Every structure is written in C-alpha cells, then in structure tokens.
C-alpha cells in the first residue's frame, strides 16, 4: 500500500493557496515568512513538500532544513546545516561560501567559528561539549550574519524559499538564529521563510512558545494553523490509498474516517491495520503512548481514569475515582492539559485531544485494572444521578461485568433516546438489552415486558432509521420465539408488522403470506386493535399486488373497526391505501382525504403512519405534475421527520429522494444536488437519495458522475430489494452511454432493466417507458450517423433495434393498470417521446410529434422540455422552417446555460452552426470557406453521400488520384482518422453544405 504522502495532495487547497501567495510575493520582490502549526500527522510535511514542488516550478530555489528529536543531545544549528548542505554540494553555489569563511566550521563539522558557547546548547550534553569549542560572543553574531548574507546572496539571481521543519525540536542556538533571520527579513526582498512545528508538543514551558509569540509580531510574518482534514478529504485519501490494494469494504473506510478524526498519518496507520486485521496498530500505539510516558505517574493515572470514563469526563468523577488527593489530582490534570493530551471543553469537562490517544491508553491497561476502574466509575454514577446518563451507566456496568445493572441501564437509555427523538441510539441500547436478556434471570421483570415485545420495539427503532432488513430480522426472531403455539394475538401482531416491513423492501409475496396469517389468527368479531391493524396491513399488501377488490374488502373492515375503536393511526394508514386507488382521478377529493389522514395520524402520535401520509401528499402532487406543491409537502414532511427523529426512516428517505427528483425536474439543479449530498452517510436503504444526484451530474457532464455511478453499481446486490436505487443507477448508465455514442450499451441496459422490472413488478412496469425512450434516443443517433455516411447495413440494424425497443416501451405502457392509478403527465410525456424517437430512428422528422412532446413536458419538467425543443428544432430544420427552429433552439439554449447542462448546450450550439442559425448567445456560424476550399467542399459533400474516390472523380471530372489527394487534405484539416469520422466531424462543425 502506498503512503499517504506519496500520492497527490488531498485537501488543503486553501492552506496551499495561502502559502503560494507568499511565494508570489517573493517573486515580486517582497519578503515574508509563515509559521505553520499543526498536530503530529496532520499533514504539515506533505503540504510543505507540495509547496516546495510548486515553488520550484515557479523558478524559486528551495532549501529545506529538518530538526530532529535528539533528546538531551542538542546539536546546535542542525537544521541550518541540513538547509545549507545542498549549497556545499552544488559546484555552482559552493564557491560563494568563500565569501563567508565563518561558516566553514558549521558546514564541515570541524570545531571553529561555527561553534557556540556550551551554556547555549540545550541540555549541555557531553557530546555537545566535545564537538564544539566555545567562541567569543561576537563570533556568534558573525555566524548569524554570515548565514543571513549567504541566503541573501542566493536570492539575488533567483527568489528563495527556505523551509525549516519541526522547529519544536530545534536547539536554542537554532531558535536564536531563526529569530535573527526573521528580524532582518526586510533586507532580503526575494526570500520567503516557512517554518513548521507541532502545536500539540508545545506545553506551557516549551522554549519555542515565547519565540513564537515574538515572531508573530514581526512585520511580514504570517501564521497558518493546519486544522484536521474534513471527513470528505480523509475519505478521498483513504480510498486513494486503498485502491492500490484492490479496494477495501465501505465499512472499513467509514471506520478509518471516523477514528482518524482528520489526521492523515492516523488514517494511513488505521487503514493498514484494517487490511491486516489489527485493532489498533502497534506502531501508532507506540507513537501515542510515547507522549503519555513523558508525564509523571500521577498524570498518567488521571489519564487512565479519563480513558475509562469516556471521551469527555468531569473533574468530579476523576477526583472521585482517582486514588490521589484532590490537590494531587488537580496538579496531575493540569500537567496533562499543559502537555496537550487533555483539553478543556467549553462546558468545563476534560476530553482527549484525539480519540486514538484514548484508545491507546485503554489498550495499555491491564484487564483487572480496567474492570476495577469501570466498576468505580459505575458506582460513582449510580451514587450521583446527575453525574452521567443512563447510557454511560450501562456501558460502565457492562464493562465491569455487572450484567443486570447494564441491562436495566440500557433500557433506561433506550427510553431516554426515544423521548428525545433519537431512534439510532434507541436501537443501539435496545439491541444491547436483547443481547443481555439470557444472562439476566429477572429480565422480563426488569424490562416490564416479554422478550418478543422487546423485539418488536427494537424492530420499530430499526425501521425508524431506515434499517429495514435489520427490522425484518428482528421480527423473524420474534416469530421464532413465540413459535406456532404462542398467543394468537401476539403472533398476529408480529405477522402484520412483518408484512408492513416486507412491503417496503419489495417482498410483496412474502408480505401477503404474513398479512394472511395475521388475519387467520384473530377473528373479525368482535373488533380488536390487533385485527384492525391486521386488516389494514392486508389491504395495503393486496393493493400492492394489484388485487384491488380483495384489498377493498380488507380496507373497509379496517376503517370501520378503526372508527369504532378510536384507532386514528390505523384509520389514517388505511385511508391512505384506499384513497390512492379510489380517488386517484379526483385530485381535490384525494387531497382532502390525505389531509384528514395527516391530522388523525398526528393526533394518534404514530410517527410511522404520519410520515407515510406526508409522503403520500408529496407523491400525489408529483404524479399530478405539480412540482411546486410536491416541494412544499416534501419540505414540511422532512421538517416533521427531523422533529420526530425519523429523517432516515423509510418514508423520511422517500421524501428526501422525492425532493431530489422534484428539484431536478423543476430546474433547481443546485438544490437537487444539495438535497442528495446533504448527509454524507445514509442508511443502506436510503442509498437512492445520494444516487439521485446522478441525474444532475450526468446532465451537466460532470466527471464526478463516473465516481458516483461506480459507487451505485457497487450496491447492485441490493437492487432487487431497492428498485429506486436500481432505476437511478441504470438511468445514469443509459444517459452516459448515450453521451459517449455507445448506443449498444444504452439499449442493453434498458432491456436488462425492463426484464428485472418485469420479474419484480409483473406486467405493470411503467418506469420502463422512460428508460426505453432514453435509450431509444441513443439508437436514433446511431441510425442518423449511419444514414449520413450511407452505411445501409448499419442503418438497417439500428432501425430494427429501435423498433424492438419501442415495442418494449409500448408493451409496458399498455400494461399499466388504471385501477392502480391513471398515468400522470410525466408518463404521458415519456410515451410521446418514445414515439417521436422511434420516428427519428426511421428518418422521419415529425415536427408535430416533437411539438406535442414539448407541450407534454411543459407540465414542469424543465430539462426534458429543453431536450425535446432541441429535437423539435432538428425536425423543423429538416422541413426548412428556419424561424421555428431558431426559436426552439434559443429556448433550449437558455435552459442549458441556466442549468449548466454542458452536453445539451454543446449539442444545441452544434446544431446552430450546422443550420446557420443565429440567436442571442448562439455561437458564430463557421465560415466554411475559411476551412475548406470550394473543391474540398464539393468532395466532402460527395463523401457524405457515400461516394468512393473513383465516383467522386467521375462526378467532378477529375482523376481518381486527384480526388484521393482532396480526401486526404480534408482528413488532415479535420483531424480525422477516416472518411466516416471526417463526415461526422464536419457535420458537427456545420461544414456540410446542402447539396
């Protein structure tokens, strides 16, 4: 695996720009200096390497010196010796050293004028005393001036970049020399000095601290702090490193990004450990613990207590658990803070500067010591209820082997998470309680419910965060626990809950079996909540399978019983299912019923049903072509989802995806991308939200589309259970293939998707129409290209492909069952587009058909209407309606520019050139005469008609050899490799004149 500092620089664009601004100042003859601070491993050296490379490209001479941690052995001027070593080795520069004889001892390592007084060497070690002979004070000043003069001389012919790295390790003499150089910086106009140091090493008494405070007050000295890298940059870094090893699982990448906390070195070490199966790499542990071991035993003890207590800890807890006196504890904590191992949060708690430091301290604890400390922390929290949360008590109880205490605290923590709308945390605590159930003898008494009920509660929390498959697994466990002889109502409750979950993951057949089983277990009379919910789930499942009449029977039973029992949530859930079918053609009535369902769902306090109603309001508006209304409902529903802590529940994710799509359709492409990318990490079942951003990236011709498409294709194993993700991915595949002129791939992907939809949804698969129509456009382009060059065989093949695709789309359109809902304006527009593309493949301009397509997409689909206007303009040009073509092209061009749709804009402008059409913003028409001679224009026209060189010669009354020369000249001018390519290029550039 390559090192992170060997590949391209990731992130740091702003920091590099600031540093390059100082380089620019040096080029302009203005001196400056930068003090670069950052924690160990954050990327200082990598950034300065990139700076040095770019500065050298700008023509600067670059000299770099490194400080080294030699402990008590403080060799004076070591970084400057390292800095000037290339000067000694350079035959062109070395003679200049003769003007500075005082440097001889420094650069050759011989005792002499370069030496410093013994009391100025940090530590005064025997090695240092033996290597240098104390000079007089004026000798030291001469040395400083000699170094400064040499650097000034070097900058006379070329600007100079001086880089000093890791000056936190610099000896006192080097610090003094650095002070001298920066103080006289203005005398060296073509010099920029960049100094780096570790901010986390600067404890309160570190000798570099007062120097830094002095240097930042000097004119021309800037300070740059390198903060941890953003998570997105760390992810890009990790993926780049992992690519050389064949890639790593997404879970590993996420784990590394979370634990590295923006530190590039830590990310590399963690990735290497992940690939090797190591928890925390020993090399990284040693680096982290080396700083801990510099502390006193008392300070190390409080770090151990803090590590066990958690990432953040209150002073009172450390003092209570520590075996030291309050005064000793305070001194120990102060030491840890001054050495930047602990930092004080705004709320007064201590936290580790980096989470991995805590991991290293924990890993160094003996098992018995760790258990004892956890027990002491748990006892303190239990004795002082306000000192910590139930979640903290659960953790410490479990780590100290108090399993009953951990079980009870986990349930308390889950309840607390539920109350504040945090289903992810609720799920975590409930699963912990489930794992402990068998180890706690009185678990049911402590929990106040049976285990199967706890499984249902846990499944509900899983559904709330979009973990649908996990929820299904938990419900299956509840079924096994109850067994075939369990309480009928309990079994029915599990069956209908499972049916609801299975419906959401496209398992309609399984869902029907579960809802049928639920109905069989509980009688309809007398009405009961369990039977009512079973009927509601059964109706919904039957409707999803197109069994409308049976669904109506179950729905009516559920509505009547819900009203009788006052079950508002069951009534609302059933009303949504029923209204979408019975009132699908009556929009005002449908809206009214959905609003009533929303009010009842909100009143019932059932968040899952409430989110379903919000989604139904939004999708009904979208299917009616009301894009603005769709966004209004989506925004309101998402706000409610956030308030309920259900943003990534099934319907929360569906609302977000609908927002992405509606903004795309409505022409708010920036807003669509923001909605798709607002949260970097989403549950697996919400992957279609991020994949929805492909619509914009592909439409803009953005290179990032390929990367996101590869990510979506990597989720192909989930497509059958996540059809919207499949549709978003395949749509992008078809669009990209069409943009690259690969009609074969576009057609194949459309056929594959139609086949999968047929298997999953049966005959009613209206989504096929859009996919096929999009692929058909690529096939029609291929047919047009074959027609242009007179390739009859290829033309016949593409026309047959086009007709076959069109038939597949027509079959899907005819199979749609109006009982499930009439086709909306979007579906009608795509059906019209399909027929128009089929005509184009046959070579029929059909302007009236394309005009109908434009009008149908006028319901609010901005981009598709613009693309259809482009095709209408083509058809109008073919029928010699130049004014009409110009108007349509101008409208399409305005939309392409506004959306940033580069491929469409390119196509529109190419057609304008070919047709010699002019409108505001259109490219200037190409002067054919400026490119081709009149004779070459004639030859090109005949080439486009498919004539051979001999036929061209005969028609133009020239020899075959002369015709061949003209053809060769045309190929050379157009940069084409053959006749077909030359004709295509000429057509795109508007160089083909009408015959």
Q: Identify which of 711, 704, 842 has the alpha carbon closest to the alpha carbon of residue 253.
A: 711
Strand pairing class (160-165; 61-66): parallel
Per-residue pLDDT, 847 = 96
Per-residue pLDDT, 130 = 31
74/767: higher pLDDT:
767
| DSSP conformation letters of 184-251 | TGGG-TTEEEEEEEEGGG--TT-THHHHHHHHTTSTTEEEEE-PPPPHHHHHHHHHHHHHTTT---HH
The C-alpha atoms of residue 655 and residue 678 are separated, in whole angstroms, by 14
Predicted confidence band at 119 (pLDDT cuts at 50, 70, 90)? Answer: very low
The C-alpha atoms of residue 914 and residue 917 are separated, in whole angstroms, by 8
Per-residue pLDDT, 23 = 92
Per-residue pLDDT, 927 = 63
The C-alpha atoms of residue 217 and residue 221 are separated, in whole angstroms, by 7
- If you count DSSP H runs as helices and E runs as strands, how many of each does the chain have, helices first? 50, 8
What value does the mean pLDDT take over residues 533-550?
A: 92
* Burial tier of 372 (Cβ tally within 10 Å: 0-12, 13-18, 19+): middle
How far from the centroid of its chain's Cα atoms is residue 705's Cα?
A: 12
Label residues 918-936 b or e (16+ Cβ within 10 Å = b).
Answer: ebeebeeeeebeebbeeeb
Contact status, residue 870 vs residue 882, Cβ threshold 8 Å: no
**Segment 49-100, tens digit of pLDDT:** 899 999 999 899 999 998 876 554 456 788 888 888 888 888 888 888 888 8
Greatest alpha-carbon pair distance for the chain in Å reads 111
The C-alpha atoms of residue 896 and residue 912 are separated, in whole angstroms, by 14
Contact status, residue 67 vs residue 164, Cβ threshold 8 Å: yes
Q: Phi first, then psi: what are they for 113, rounded to 5°?
A: -65, -20
What value does the mean pLDDT take over residues 569-586?
A: 81
Residue 610 reports pLDDT greater than 90: yes
Residue 127 reports pLDDT greater than 50: no
What value does the mean pLDDT take over residues 126-138?
A: 35
Residue 390 reports pLDDT greater than 90: no
Per-residue pLDDT, 877 = 92
What value does the mean pLDDT take over residues 937-963?
A: 87
Per-residue pLDDT, 349 = 83
Q: What number of residues does the chain have?
A: 995
Degrees (nearest 5) of the Cα angle 365, 366, 369? 90
Task: Record the pTM.
Answer: 0.65
Predicted confidence band at 133 (pLDDT cuts at 50, 70, 90)? Answer: very low
Q: Identify which of 222, 151, 203, 209 has the alpha carbon closest to the alpha carbon of residue 180.
A: 151
Tokens of 612: 């379903």
What value does the mean pLDDT take over residues 951-963?
A: 87
- CA distances, 389 to each of 75, 312, 408 (Å): 53, 13, 13
Predicted confidence band at 126 (pLDDT cuts at 50, 70, 90)? Answer: very low
Segment (H or E) for 99: none
Tokens of 718: 């989930």
Per-residue pLDDT, 123 = 38
What value does the mean pLDDT take over residues 894-920?
A: 90
The C-alpha atoms of residue 652 and residue 645 are separated, in whole angstroms, by 10
What value does the mean pLDDT take over residues 144-172?
A: 89
Work out the mean pLDDT of the chain and round it to a whole number. Answer: 85
Q: Phi first, then psi: what are they for 934, rounded to 5°?
A: -55, -40
The C-alpha atoms of residue 23 and residue 924 are separated, in whole angstroms, by 41
**Segment 163-209, tens digit of pLDDT:** 999 888 888 888 889 999 998 877 778 899 999 998 877 877 788 88
Residue 688 reports pLDDT greater than 80: yes
Per-residue pLDDT, 247 = 61
The C-alpha atoms of residue 652 and residue 990 are separated, in whole angstroms, by 50
Per-residue pLDDT, 96 = 82
Q: Which of 221-230, 534-543, 781-790, 930-939 has the lowest mean pLDDT?
A: 930-939
840/715: higher pLDDT:
840
The C-alpha atoms of residue 635 and residue 651 are separated, in whole angstroms, by 13
Asked if omega into 526 is within 30° of 0 (cis), the reply is: yes
- Read off the DSSP letter of residue 678: S
- CA distances, 876 to each of 431, 794, 851, 856 (Å): 65, 26, 10, 18
Per-residue pLDDT, 73 = 47
The C-alpha atoms of residue 69 and residue 167 are separated, in whole angstroms, by 10
**Segment 318-371, tens digit of pLDDT:** 888 887 888 888 899 898 888 878 888 777 888 887 767 787 888 888 889 889
Q: Which of 406-410, 533-537, 737-741, 945-949 has the lowest mean pLDDT?
A: 945-949
Share of the chain above pLDDT 90, in %: 43
What value does the mean pLDDT take over residues 637-644?
A: 91
**Segment 791-817, tens digit of pLDDT:** 899 999 999 999 999 999 999 998 876
The C-alpha atoms of residue 857 and residue 627 are separated, in whole angstroms, by 12
| DSSP conformation letters of 699-763 | HHT-THHHHHHHHHHTTGGGGGG-HHHHHHHHHHHHHHHHHTT-HHHHHHHHHHHHHHHHHHHTT
Contact status, residue 47 vs residue 16, Cβ threshold 8 Å: yes
Per-residue pLDDT, 600 = 94
Residue 505 reports pLDDT greater than 90: no
Residue 646 reports pLDDT greater than 90: no
**Segment 259-317, tens digit of pLDDT:** 777 777 777 767 766 654 456 667 677 777 877 888 899 998 988 988 888 877 888 88
The C-alpha atoms of residue 305 and residue 298 are separated, in whole angstroms, by 11
Secondary structure (H, E, C), 162-174: EEEECHHHCCHHH
At 274, is the secondary structure helix, strand, or coil? helix
Q: Identify which of 373, 303, 369 has the alpha carbon closest to the alpha carbon of residue 336.
A: 303
**Segment 839-856, tens digit of pLDDT:** 999 999 999 999 999 999
Look at the block and give the residue holding tokens 């021309």: 220
How far from the centroid of its chain's Cα atoms is residue 810's Cα?
A: 38
Share of the chain above pLDDT 70, in %: 90
Per the DSSP assignment, residues forming a β-bridge with 63 are 162
């Amino acid at each position: 695996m390559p090192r992170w500092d060997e590949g391209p620089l990731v992130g740091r664009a702003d920091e590099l720009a600031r540093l390059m601004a100082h380089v620019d100042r040096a080029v302009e003859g203005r001196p400056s200096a930068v003090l670069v601070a950052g924690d160990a491993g954050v990327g200082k050296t990598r950034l300065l390497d990139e700076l040095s490379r770019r500065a050298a490209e700008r023509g600067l001479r670059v000299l770099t010196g490194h400080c080294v941690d030699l402990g008590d052995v403080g060799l004076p001027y070591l970084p400057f010796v390292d800095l000037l070593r290339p000067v000694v080795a350079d035959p062109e520069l070395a003679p200049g050293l003769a003007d500075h004889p005082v440097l001889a001892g420094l650069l050759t390592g011989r005792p002499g004028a370069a030496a410093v007084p013994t009391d100025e060497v940090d530590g005064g070690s025997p090695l240092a005393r033996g290597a240098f002979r104390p000079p007089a004070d004026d000798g030291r000043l001469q040395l400083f001036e000699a170094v400064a003069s040499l650097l000034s001389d070097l900058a006379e012919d070329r600007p100079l970049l001086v880089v000093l790295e890791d000056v936190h390790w610099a000896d006192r003499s080097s610090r003094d020399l650095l002070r001298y150089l920066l103080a006289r910086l203005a005398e060296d106009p073509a010099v920029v000095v960049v100094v780096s140091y570790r901010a986390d090493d600067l404890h309160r008494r570190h000798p570099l601290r007062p120097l830094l405070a002095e240097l930042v007050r000097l004119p021309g000295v800037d300070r740059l702090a390198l903060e941890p890298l953003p998570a997105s940059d760390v992810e890009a870094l990790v993926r780049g490193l992992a690519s050389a090893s064949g890639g790593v699982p997404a879970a590993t990448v996420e784990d590394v990004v979370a634990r590295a906390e923006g530190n590039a070195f830590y990310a590399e070490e963690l990735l290497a450990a992940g690939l090797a199966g190591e928890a925390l790499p020993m090399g990284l542990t040693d680096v982290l613990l080396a700083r801990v071991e510099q502390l006193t035993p008392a300070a190390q003890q409080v770090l151990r207590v803090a590590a066990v207590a958690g990432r953040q800890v209150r002073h009172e807890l450390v003092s209570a658990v520590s075996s030291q006196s309050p005064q000793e504890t305070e001194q120990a904590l102060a030491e840890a803070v001054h050495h930047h191992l602990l930092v004080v949060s705004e709320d007064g708690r201590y936290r580790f500067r980096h989470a991995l430091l805590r991991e290293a301290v924990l890993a160094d604890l003996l098992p018995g010591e760790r258990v004892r400390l956890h027990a002491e922390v748990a006892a303190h929290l239990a004795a002082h209820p306000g000192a910590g949360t139930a979640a903290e008590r659960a953790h410490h109880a479990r780590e100290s082997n108090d399993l009953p205490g951990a079980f009870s605290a986990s349930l308390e923590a889950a309840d607390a998470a539920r109350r504040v709308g945090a289903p992810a945390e609720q799920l975590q605590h409930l699963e912990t309680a489930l794992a402990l159930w068998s180890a706690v003898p009185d678990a049911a008494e402590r929990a106040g419910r049976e285990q199967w009920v706890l499984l249902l509660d846990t499944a509900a929390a899983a559904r709330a965060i979009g973990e649908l498959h996990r929820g299904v697994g938990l419900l299956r466990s509840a079924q096994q626990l109850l067994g075939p002889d369990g309480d009928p109502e309990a079994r029915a409750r599990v069956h209908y809950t499972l049916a609801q979950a299975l419906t959401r993951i496209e398992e309609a057949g399984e869902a029907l079996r579960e809802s049928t089983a639920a109905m069989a277990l509980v009688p309809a009379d007398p009405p009961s909540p369990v039977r009512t919910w079973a009927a509601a789930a059964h109706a919904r499942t039957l409707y999803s399978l197109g069994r409308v009449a049976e669904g109506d029977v179950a729905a009516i039973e559920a509505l009547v019983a819900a009203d009788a029992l006052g079950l508002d949530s069951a009534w609302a859930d059933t009303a949504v299912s029923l209204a979408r079918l019975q009132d699908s053609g009556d929009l005002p009535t449908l809206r009214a019923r959905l609003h009533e369902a929303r009010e009842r769902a909100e009143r019932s306090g059932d968040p899952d049903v409430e989110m379903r109603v919000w989604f139904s309001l939004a999708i009904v508006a979208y299917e009616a072509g009301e894009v603005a209304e769709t966004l209004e409902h989506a925004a309101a529903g998402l706000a409610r989802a956030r308030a309920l802590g259900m943003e990534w529940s099934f319907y929360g994710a569906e609302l977000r995806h609908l927002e992405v799509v509606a903004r795309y359709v409505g022409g708010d492409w920036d807003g669509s991308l923001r909605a798709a990318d607002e949260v970097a990490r989403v549950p697996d079942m919400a992957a279609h939200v991020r994949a929805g951003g492909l619509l914009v990236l592909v439409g803009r011709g953005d290179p990032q589309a390929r990367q996101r498409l590869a990510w979506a294709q990597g989720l192909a194993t989930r497509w059958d259970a996540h059809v919207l993700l499949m549709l978003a991915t395949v749509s992008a595949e078809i669009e990209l293939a069409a943009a690259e002129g690969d009609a074969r791939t576009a057609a194949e992907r459309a056929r594959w998707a139609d086949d999968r939809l047929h298997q999953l949804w049966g005959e009613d698969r209206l989504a096929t129409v859009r996919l096929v129509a999009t692929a058909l456009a690529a096939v029609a382009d291929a047919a047009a290209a074959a027609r242009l060059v007179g390739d009859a065989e290829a033309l016949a093949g593409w026309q047959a492909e086009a007709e076959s695709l069109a038939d597949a789309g027509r079959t899907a359109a005819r199979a749609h069952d109006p009982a499930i809902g009439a086709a909306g304006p979007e579906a009608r527009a795509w059906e019209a587009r399909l027929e128009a593309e089929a005509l184009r493949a046959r070579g029929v301009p059909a302007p009236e058909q394309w005009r109908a397509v434009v009008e149908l997409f006028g319901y609010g689909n901005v981009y598709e209407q613009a693309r259809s206007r482009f095709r209408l303009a083509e058809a109008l040009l073919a029928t010699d309606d130049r004014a009409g073509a110009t108007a349509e092209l101008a409208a399409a061009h305005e939309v392409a520019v506004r959306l940033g749709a580069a491929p469409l804009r390119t196509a529109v402008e190419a057609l304008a050139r070919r047709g010699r059409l002019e409108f505001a913003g259109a490219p200037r028409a190409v002067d054919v005469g400026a490119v081709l001679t009149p004779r070459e224009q004639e030859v090109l026209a005949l080439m486009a008609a498919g004539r051979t060189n001999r036929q061209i010669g005969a028609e133009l009354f020239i020899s075959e050899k002369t015709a061949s020369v003209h053809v060769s000249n045309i190929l050379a001018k157009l940069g084409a490799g053959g006749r077909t390519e030359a004709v295509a290029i000429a057509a795109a550039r508007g160089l083909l004149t009408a015959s």
